[in-house]
Chains A and B, each alone.
Chain A
Amino acid sequence: MAATVTSTEVIDAAVGGGPRPRGGNGFNKNGGRNGQDGEQLRFSPARYRMGVWVGICSIVMLFTALTSSYIVRSASGNDWQPIVMPKVLWLSTALILISSVTMEISRRSLKQQKDARYGRWLMITVVLGLGFLASQLIAWRQLVRQGVYLASNPYNSFFYLFTAAHGVHLAGGIMALGYLLVRTRRKRVTVEGELRRVGAADSATIYWHFMDGLWVVLFVLLFYWK
């Protein structure tokens, strides 16, 4: 994931660049050229990235709790009956994998200051994300039609729970992307505004890749873990 941590060369040029007096708080370059520097700049985009990583830690713990319960529960009774995977889940998986690529293209476009391209790929990512959610819903509908309900078997309970929990978090990601998309229309005037935009796009990208990885883990756990 190291690639997702952007540098902010472009921005630095805009502020005048050049080495500044040593300062900052000594964490993660915050005190060097890219860091906060006294009165001139009290904001570092690292804040958004850090926030999203911390948030990811808590989401990881939520899913650790749920997947541990899944493993424990699968062994605690003899009523465990896995379902046949709805084929449409392959489509979901493909959509979310592709969306990660498009999100990355979008983020890199912003870094290269290609605003139109950034907005375009952001839009494609949002569409792919919505497509993923639609595809998940189709999977649910298919299962319901087969009589596979939430409470009919512990495996089903976990299947619905995992897909729902992941879907809710992904919907949050789509909302974040939507927010970025709305804001592409406006030109940043201040340096800090630009920094915030870069920071927000970076953190949304990190979150999006995480949602992608999380789905792959859940997918493997639900259908290939024995």
Chain B
Amino acid sequence: MSEATHDEVHRHPAPKGFIRKYIFSVDHKVIGIQYILLALSAVVVGMLMSVLMRMNLSWPGTKWPIMGTLFPTGAPNGVMSAEFYLSLVTMHGTLMVFFVLTTAPQGGFGNYFLPIQIGAEDMAFPVLNMLSFWVTFVGFIVLLTAIFAEGNQTIGAWFTKLGESAWGAGSGTVGPIGGWTGYAPLSALGKVAGPGQGAGVSLWIISIAIFCVGSLLGALNFITTLLNMRTRGMSLMRMPLTCWAWFTTAVLALLSFPVLLGGGILLLLDRMAGTSFFIPGGEFVSGSLIPNHTGGSPLLWQHLFWFFGHPEVYIAILPGMGATSHILSTFARKPIFGYRAMVFAIFAIGMLGFFVWGHHMFISGMSPYSAVAFSILTLSIGVPSAIKTFNWLGTLWGAKIRFTTPMLFAIGFVSLFVAGGITGLVLGQTSLDFFFHDTYFVTAHFHLVMGVASIFGMFAATYFWFPKMFGRMMNESLGKLHFWITFIGVYAIFVPFHAMGMLGMPRRYSNFGEYEFLKNSHSLVLFVTVAAIITVAIQIVFYFNFFWSMFRGKKASDNPWEATTLEWTTATPPPHDNFAGVIPTVYRGPYEFAVPGAPRDFIMQTEPEGVEVAAGLGERSGNGGNGHQH
């Protein structure tokens, strides 16, 4: 590598060619948008799968047009098979959790705005940043390949050649059927475990492993950037809460993804190299004895998976919390209530998240003593969560709220977080979980709190930062229409889920018609399906608004929301090095709204204070500012 290219890698002057500028770009802003577009693509597939699931549940046995042609084995004559349904469940979960809820909030918005909000010109390691996106993208492609390896006989046959015994292929489902949790031992056995457990599962594991690597590179970059590249005056306690959220998320990703990666390697070895990490001896599957395996522990997989899996749900929601705090304060025109408490609470939620994975496994036969410990730790997460909720409400209290679309979505986030979080207290208790485990009650809980709430955080972030990213405003009327229908829609979908769960309706079943005790709840199932179809359909308005506004929206000024943080001090959209060579200096905290005596109702972070105030603050804030003493 020559000196010139070396400098280019690190300081990277604005690239000229299309490929360096938009495809293999090292600019964190371009990479952020790439992540957002990846999530926007994945979420379409995930949503369509959920509609197919609802259609199958509501009208089982119906011959759907097109489906028979697309999936001749999975949906013969257009009637979806049970395996087909399970593979929809699996791929919906995997796509949503990994490629939507993990990529958009952190990889997308975090990448774009963390460096700008701390006054850095880029991420700490721009090339690594580019790699982490493209590695993630490869993971996405491999996951899509899993669909075709299982769903299509012809394509599946190509993969069969890679190893008949462990792989198997072309089961005619849409993808692997192990669920997003891929529980061993079925996921560890290969195609002997049945349709949808062949090549698709191997590709599914490989895809997740690749995704882990991409996320780890990203997390490394986020942490280093935040610790090392803050601009002058940007002390930790002057950072916007979004930065704290992205930082905590990166710490969670850094510590949890390696565990999933390790588990994935073990699982893949079980499938492809004949080891027995997770496969016990003497196992019967579909009436045949599984030979050549002894002594493996299926529960070990659950421990490894959930040690990752629980932090993962916080990886999904914490950035939403950050964005919500940021946006609530901006449109309430008030400082965030209890900034310090918010910082500690978000960190506490993140750290506690590492010690509660057992609550996913209460019915696994664990010792009641450890179950109680996991239960108490789980319920204790309610404390920092309540701190955050009350601080959000405190921020809104007595405020002259500007009800813009991002604000509506941020308030919607608070609502959904409370509605979904409160059932966490129910499920976190061992005795109640024994009944609710694997029912629709669980599905309702995690969809509200980690699924929809996170998505609302991202909608808020999209409407809020769109003008900065693309230089144009999104349409407010369409935005409000989108908000109200989505908000009512998600409650209409997920509140009945609680009732279904209490009736004992098990999740992941493709058909409830055979069960006498569930016959009466069919109207509930139908209602949810109609609500789901309407809610999914209204997202077309969002997509239209997003892409239409990109080219035709009203031109945005540099600070359309009258916000205070650094991203609003620079041009719209920001230049290649974010601040056009002028490095900002920060003099104050991030949420200085309605400061008494100030000329406007907001003060930018870069506005210097009066001389004597500045001297006092300088002494206090420089927690590393002992430079003169060396």
Contacts and interface: CB of A to CB of B under 8 A. Distances in A.
A25 B232 contact: yes
B57 interface: no
A184 B281 CA distance: 56
B275 A32 contact: no
A157 B269 contact: yes
Interface string A37-66: 011001110110011001101110111111
Contacts of B220: 51, 54-55, 58
Interface string B223-259: 1100111111111100000000000000000111111
A195 to B, nearest CB: 11
A38 B583 contact: yes
B296 interface: yes
A44 B277 contact: no
Contacts of A59: 258
Nearest to B120: A42
A32 B585 CA distance: 15
B216 interface: yes
B627 A58 contact: no
A82 to B, nearest CB: 14
A193 B3 contact: yes
Interface stretch (A72-80, A125-133, A207-215): A72-80
Given A47-B228, A157-B269, A58 B622 contact: no
Instruction: Kindly name the residue among B219, B220, B618 whose own CB sees the greatest number of chain A CB atoms within 10 A.
Output: B220
Contacts of A196: 10
Interface in A182-202: 183, 186, 189, 193, 196
Contacts of B219: 54, 58
A73 B295 CA distance: 8
Contacts of B227: 27-28, 50
A79 B293 CA distance: 10
Interface residues of A, number: 56
Contacts of A30: 228, 624
A133 B625 CA distance: 45
Given A47-B229, A61-B259, A154-B277, A69 B266 contact: yes
B163 interface: no
Contacts of A186: 3
Contact of A72 (B6, B216, B300): B300
B528 interface: no
Interface residues of B, number: 65
A19 B627 contact: yes
A74 to B, nearest CB: 10
A150 interface: yes
Contacts of B355: none
A26 B228 contact: no
A35 interface: yes
Contact of B233 (A23, A39, A150): A23
Contacts of B626: 32
A31 interface: yes
A216 interface: no
B124 interface: yes
Contacts of A175: none
Contacts of B556: none
Contacts of A25: 118, 228-235, 624
A207 B118 CA distance: 28
B307 interface: yes
A18 to B, nearest CB: 11
A69 B296 contact: no
A151 B269 CA distance: 9
B425 to A, nearest CB: 29
A193 B235 CA distance: 27
B232 A23 contact: yes
Given A25-B231, A51-B124, A151-B273, A57 B627 contact: no
A154 B583 contact: no
Given A22-B628, A54-B219, A77-B295, 6 more contacts: A22-B627, A23-B585, A54-B223, A61-B256, A69-B304, A151-B292
The 3 closest A-B pairs by CB, nearest first: A77-B295, A32-B627, A25-B230
